[in-house]
Amino acid sequence: MRLFIAIELPQTLQNEIAHFIEPLRKQVRGARWIPLQNLHLTLKFLGEVPEIDILKIKNCMEEVIREENFQPFKLQFSKIGGFPTLKSPRVIWLGVSIGEEVLSKITSSLEGSLELLGYPKKDRPYQAHLSLGKVKDPKQFWGVEKFELIHKTSFAGFSVGVISLLQSFLGRDGASYEKVYEVKL
C-alpha cells in the first residue's frame, strides 16, 4: 500500500482555493493542476508500506499525538510559491502563514517515531506547503506574471483537529486517495 500522513482540507477551503485558481487554470500554461478533492497538506510520505506495518504506523501516530499532547490548532494558507522557484517551478504551492510551528513539531515527532519503524527521516527540513499544481517542463511554463499579481493572497483559516493516514492509488487519470485511519488531536 502506498501511504502518507496528511491534513485534509475542509470543503469550504477547497471551494475558496477553487475560486482562486480557476483564472490561473486558464491563463497559466504548462501546469497540471491538482484536482480539488486531492488537495491535502502532507506531513510525512511513507511510500510503499507492507500491510504488516499498518497497525504499527497507526500506533505510532496515536503515541506521538498523545505523548506530545498536541491540541487542535489553527492553520491558514497564504502566498503562492514554487519549488525550486516560482519563475521556474516544478511544483506550485500555497505557503502556510499560521500554524507552521505546530506543523513542524508534529512532523518532527512523527519522523522520529517512524524512523524507529524503518521509515527514514527526510534529508532536508520540513517546509509546510499545499501543492496546487505540477510543472513537467519549467521551460514550457509561462504566465508567471499572473502569479506576481496575486502574490499577497490569504485564505480563511481552519481548525485542524485530525491527522489522517491516507492511501494513494495511482491511475491513468491521476491519483486518488482513501482514508485508512485518523487520529484526533
pLDDT tens by residue, 99-136:
999 999 999 999 999 999 999 998 888 999 999 999 88
- Give long-range contacts, CB 8 A cutoff, 24+ apart: 87-93: 87/144, 88/138, 88/141, 89/135, 89/138, 89/141, 90/134, 90/135, 90/138, 91/131, 91/133, 91/134, 91/135, 92/31, 92/131, 92/132, 92/133, 92/134, 92/135, 92/147, 93/129, 93/130, 93/131, 93/132
Question: CA 101, 106, 108 angle in degrees (round to 5)?
Answer: 95
Catalytic member of 3, 40, 64, 77: 40
Give the global pTM: 0.92
Catalytic member of 60, 92, 93, 129: 129
- Per-residue confidence (pLDDT) for residue 64, from 0 to 100: 97
40 is catalytic: yes
CATH annotation of 2-184: 3.90.1140.10
- Per-residue confidence (pLDDT) for residue 144, from 0 to 100: 65
CA distance 124 to 151: 25
Cα dihedral sign for 23, 97, 142, 175? negative
